[in-house]
Amino acid sequence: MNKTLKQVQKEVDVWAKQFKEPYFPPLSRMAAMTEEVGEVARVINRMYGSKKAKPEEAIVDLEEELGDVLFTLTCMANAEGIDLTKAFERKMEKVNNRDTSRFEKK
């Protein structure tokens, strides 16, 4: 099922608002996001570092951890009233214009 970023934000918000305190306080949100990014690093290290995991297990773990990052990112955006579609459009505008000659093209 394909979801738009708007739908993702709404789904997380509906879930969060069942709780008395829907989103963690700002610094806890930042810590949660940092933790999840660290978990991505742990999986990448197992995939490409000296302590190898089974590739098929690692890719499932990476998918899970990227999902965690997406979730914490969405919580942060929702709590701060940020529209991720707009944020993404701004980023693409940057990479397509400002940074257009930064990397060698095919």
**Of the listed pieces 9-17, 26-34, 39-47, 89-97, which binds Mg ion according to CB under 5 A?**
39-47
Locate 38 and state its tokens.
Answer: 């660290």
Question: By CB under 5 A, is residue 68 in contact with Mg ion?
Answer: yes
**Of the listed pieces 13-21, 45-53, 54-62, 64-72, which binds Mg ion according to CB under 5 A?**
64-72
State the nearest-atom distance from the C-beta of 39 to Mg ion, in Å.
4
Phi/psi for 91 (5° steps) reads: -65, -45
Question: By CB under 5 A, is residue 58 in contact with Mg ion?
Answer: no
Residue ranges in contact with Mg ion by CB under 5 A: 36, 39, 65, 68
